[in-house]
Amino acid sequence: MKKNKLIKIYNKLLDHFGRQYWWPADTPFEVMVGAILTQQTSWTNVEKAIAELKKERLLSPRKILRTPASKLHKIIRSSGYYKQKEKKLKIFCRFLINIDRASITRTQLLSLWGIGRETADSILLYALGKPIFVVDAYTIRIGERVGLFKAEGYEHVREYFESNLPRRLTLYKEYHALLVELGKNYCKPKPLCDSCPINRLCQFCEVR
C-alpha cells in the first residue's frame, strides 16, 4: 500500500511538472559547492554566488583554498552567512583534495564542520551518484499532509522513502526534485489544495 501510494504520487507529479533533471550544475564539484551555499537561503541567491565563482574561475577545490577569505566573502555574499560558508567551503575542499571521491561515505561527510544531513545527502545523491534519498522541509511538509508518515526526524523520513521505493538513482533524484516543485508551487505553508496535482491522494486536502 505504501509503495503503491508513493509511486502514484510520483507519477502524478511527473505528469504535471515533467522531468526536472536536478541538480542544475556543470560539474559534480559545482553541485557540492551549491549544496553548501544553499543552506539557509534560496537557490536564486546561490545561483548568483556560483556565477561569481565561475566569473573568477574559482570553481575547483585548490583554487578555493588559495583564495583569501576576504575575497571569497565578497564572491559568495549573495548566499548569506558568507563568513560561515567560506569556512565550510574551505574545510570541505581540504577534505576533498585528500580523498578518492568514489570512496566518500556519509559518515565522513557528516564529520565535517558545517555539513549536515541534508547537505551530505545532496552531495552523495547528486554529485557522487549514490542512491540516498534527500529530505528537506518540502519533503517533510508534503509527506505529513499527504498522510505518508508522521515526521519523527530526518532519518525516519529518509528511511521511509528508501524502504518503500525501488533503490534507483534516477528515481531518487527526480522524486526529490518533484517534491521541491510541489512544495514551492502548491504545498506551501498556506497550501493551494484546489489546484494541487495530487489533491485526490492527499489527506490534508480531504479534511479541508
The confidence score (pLDDT) of residue 204 equals 84
CA distance linking residue 176 with residue 124, whole number of Å: 13
Confidence label for 146 from pLDDT (cuts 50, 70 and 90): very high
CA distance linking residue 85 with residue 33, whole number of Å: 10
CA distance linking residue 110 with residue 196, whole number of Å: 35
Confidence label for 3 from pLDDT (cuts 50, 70 and 90): confident
Residues 50 and 97 in one domain: yes
| Grid cell for residue 7 | 509511486
Domain boundary among 79, 101, 127: 127
pLDDT reading at 207 higher than 60: no
Query: Which has the closest alpha carbon to 92: 123, 70, 113, 77?
Result: 113
Average pLDDT over residues 100-106: 96
The confidence score (pLDDT) of residue 30 equals 98
Cβ contact 48:55 at 8 Å = no
Here the CATH number for the domain that contains residue 120 is 1.10.340.30
The confidence score (pLDDT) of residue 24 equals 87
How many domains are there within the chain?
A: 2
| Grid cell for residue 42 | 534560496
The confidence score (pLDDT) of residue 208 equals 60
Which residues lie below 8 Å from residue 147, measured CB to CB, with a gap of 6+? 202, 203, 204
Confidence label for 1 from pLDDT (cuts 50, 70 and 90): low
Domain boundary among 127, 156, 187: 127
